[in-house]
Amino acid sequence: MALLTPETTRWVAAATALVFVLASVSFVVPASGSVSPVPFDDTVKTGGTSVDVRTAEVEGFEVPLAQVHFSRYRYIIGYYDVRTAAADVSTPESARQFGDPLAVFVTDYATVSPDLDGDGYLRTEHNRTPGWARASEASFVVDSGARVPSGPIAVPFSDADAARSFADAHGGDVVDWATLRDRAGDPLSSRLAAFESSVAAHHEWANRTAAASDALFDRPVSTVVGEDAPTVGAAVESAPANTTVYVPAGTYSVDAVELNRSVTLRGAGSDTRLVGDGNGSVVHLRADRSAVGDLSVSGVGEVGTRRVRAENESVDWDTRVELAYGRGDAGVVLDGANGSAVRGVKIDTPASGVIARESADSVVDGVTVRGADEPADGFMGVVLIGSRSVVQDSTFIDGRDGVYTHRADGSVVRDNRMEDGRYGVHQMYTSDALVADNVVRGDRIGVVLMTRPVGNLVVGNDVRESDFGFMPAGSDTYVADNVFADNDYGMDVSGDRQVYVRNVVAGNGVGVRGSSTFPTNVVVRNDIVDNGVRVESSLGPMRTWTAGGEGNYWGDLPLEDADDDGVYDRAYQPSGAVDAELGREPGALALSESPAMRALRRARDAVSGLRGSGVVDAAPRTEPVQPETLASLNATEETDD
């Protein structure tokens, strides 16, 4: 047995005192009372997909809903998908986190004459609003033609005859609640499959869009600066559409160069230098399928943000931000230039590098932007506003944000490098975007999602030596296969219905900060190791970071795995006063297995009043999920030492 040092003895004494204080809390179980359905807007919402919800809101079709009243959770959980509710209510994770389901209610289509439109979407006669029925008393039509954008749905009815009539008209089988629960399957697996499909689709779109821009740089040369025209501006003005203006190596003083036709401005590489007068943006692309490439730009104005003029003082905050962020000075500005491209351009700027306003399907590829030495003095490497675009294989050094997006839904930001700025990737009002395989070093935040976006994909990024690796808001974000290492904080678990899987969170001051108020996020199959504090969590109820019997890897813990199934035999609370010290303090294991702690764990599982805030992993892994990545991180640390 390990010897206890005086310092360890003091720690054990303090922890023991904490145990008895917690154990003295009254065992209060709230009375269930009568349970009735509530308006769905009053529930904590989960399940479904953001595409289903948003499309239904716009087009007015029905998404069958469920609401579950649990015995140990003060809020009512609303599900956008009846099958997800059926799968969730009886899982061990749900029981541990919320208690037993006191009642489950589902939308009732028995009296609203439901039908299907040409897309298979469920609609009610005269848009009548369905009521609620107890799930245990309802009949469900499954495998019919009814669907939402993400796939088939189960349609509930309080009357079995109404359910059979719907099935006769639209196909499918009629089942009861118990059968639906048995057939629900693993909701996490289906969500992961949908997310991975979305990642692949985003990459495919970005590949097609980038390939389409190749033709812009294969246009025949019509005008050579210095031979066919005396200045860059004159050459651009005289060039026919769908041709290239070639700028040989050299330094060219320019005013604002305006591409008002589908013309490509191309240089001889970084030895072709366009130098503005320092009073505004240097190159403007104002026509569809225009392009600039293979040159360097400097002499950009110093205005990172334009103040909103007095006549715009009454506009909403969103518009103010869009005007402020999108109307500053930049090396290259795309303004209504759909399908355009900026490739192989080096920009030195005290403001922004590239601004793309309402320029759909544009590509920023292989650019290098060097901004102001101090983030507060500069602005953005790339700004995307109003339309989806691709930013790839580029480097952003210093300045404020590497890539900033504003209502640029569906954009792809991939394979870039950001160093020594404020934020690496900063998304505002941007949903359904892919942020993939970027490298961020020394920023305040590696990737930050703001203003409650939905359906974003944050995959394969590597963020180190920053204040925060990842900080999200919103819902339905897929956070997978990232490395958050050597930061003050690794990643933040917040928002609603987010999924965190296969991430490596290592060597941070705080590994994970759990800051969501409602426990609707999924955190499984992650490697969270060698952090100063494993989990910091003080808001909201106890969260269970386990799903489908799978948890996370927290390092080599001194716990038993008697059946050798790769899962430690008891739940692990990384935010707990005692469990947090397992493997670090010699006395922690003995204290964690003491009769008092065992009694407290049993009581905490049974009584919501003893749970408090924090995180528990009901199936902690004995082996890492990403052993090769962890080995690579360890090798890097040894090399640095």
Give pLDDT tens digits for 268-324.
999 999 999 999 999 999 999 999 999 999 999 998 775 444 445 556 666 667 777
Bridge-based pairing of strands 155-157 and 139-142 is antiparallel
| Residue 196 and residue 179 share a domain | no
CA pair distance 135, 108, nearest whole angstrom = 9
Per DSSP, the three-state class of 613 is coil
Most confident stretch, 212-216, 428-432, 594-598 = 212-216
Q: Are residues 62 and 132 in the same domain?
A: yes
Structurally, the chain folds into a number of domains equal to 3
Same domain, 121 and 203: no
Separation between Cα atoms, residue 70 and residue 48, nearest integer Å: 20
Same domain, 380 and 494: no
Higher-pLDDT residue of 542 and 480 is 480
Q: What is the pLDDT of residues 246-272, one digit of tens each?
A: 999 999 999 999 999 999 999 999 999
Q: What's the rounded Cα separation, in Å, for the pair 136 and 198?
A: 35
Q: Is 434 part of any domain?
A: no
State the residue range of the domain holding 573. Answer: 480-640
Domain membership of residue 599 (yes or no) is yes
**Same-domain pairing of 153 and 249:** no
SS3 label, residue 443: coil
Q: Would you state the pLDDT for residue 53? A: 82
Q: Confirm whether pTM is higher than 0.85.
A: no
Residues 220 and 302 in one domain: yes
Shared domain for 364 and 254, answered yes or no, is yes
Query: What average pLDDT is seen over the chain?
Result: 88
Q: Is residue 17 part of a domain?
A: no
What is the three-class DSSP state of 377?
A: helix
Higher pLDDT, 211 or 537: 211
- Strand-pair category, 147-148 with 151-152: antiparallel
Task: Give residue 184's pLDDT band: very low, low, confident or very high (50, 70, 90).
Answer: confident
Residues 145 and 48 in one domain: yes
The CATH number of the domain holding residue 365 is: 2.160.20
User: Which pLDDT value is given to residue 316?
Assistant: 63
Residues 488 and 378 in one domain: no
Q: What does the pLDDT read at residue 24?
A: 38
- Alpha-carbon radius of gyration of the chain: 28
At 545, give phi and psi (nearest 5°): -95, 65
Give residue-wise pLDDT tens across range 17-37.
444 444 333 333 344 457 899
Give the per-residue pLDDT at 435: 98
Same domain, 524 and 625: yes
Is there a single domain that holds both residue 123 and residue 253? no
According to DSSP, the residues that pair with 144 across neighbouring strands are: none
Give pLDDT, residue 16: 47
pLDDT reading at 511 higher than 90: yes
